Amino acid sequence: MNKLCPCGSQQVLENCCMPHLLNQSAPTAEALMRSRYTAYTLHQADYLYATTLLSERRYTSKTEILQWAQQNKWMKLEVLEATEKTVTFKAYYFDALGTPQIHHEKSTFKKVQDKWYYVSGKFFS
């Protein structure tokens, strides 16, 4: 079964985000962002936590990440703009009440000892 990657790359999951999830690392900020979206669809809270910059982890918890991942039905990801350290995207999902929602964010990433981490996001409504 060659399942297309949830991140919308049109590649199969095993050749796209899955290797990053297994290595707990991605080669670029955009690849990390895409793999984090995929991690939400697969409820991989450990990966989401591990790829959050250490100093930012106190603002989040694995339990909250897992709840947010599980309560929503993730439909698709649209990457609008990517630079070396930022990615602007829209994530389409249905919330716990079944209402369609768009999460529009500009995320900032940081490379530490050759690994990319999610730092924070600016949200647009």
Does 28 participate in binding Zn ion (rule CB under 5 A)? no
In this chain, which of 7, 29, 45, 91 binds Zn ion, going by CB under 5 A? Answer: 7
Q: Which is nearer to Zn ion, 34 or 58 (CB)?
A: 34
Q: How far is the CB of 87 from Zn ion (least distance, A)?
A: 13
d(CA 36, CA 25): 10
Candidates 11-19, 57-65, 66-74, 117-125; binding stretch for Zn ion (CB under 5 A)? 11-19
Amino acid at 53: L
The separation between CA 82 and the C-alpha centre of its own chain, rounded to angstroms, equals 14
In this chain, which of 3, 9, 79, 82 binds Zn ion, going by CB under 5 A? Answer: 9
d(CA 10, CA 6): 9
Does 5 participate in binding Zn ion (rule CB under 5 A)? yes
Kindly state the tokens that stand for 7: 């991140």
Nearest in space to 85 (alpha carbons), one of 7, 9, 8, 29: 29
Q: How far is the CB of 42 from Zn ion (least distance, A)?
A: 11
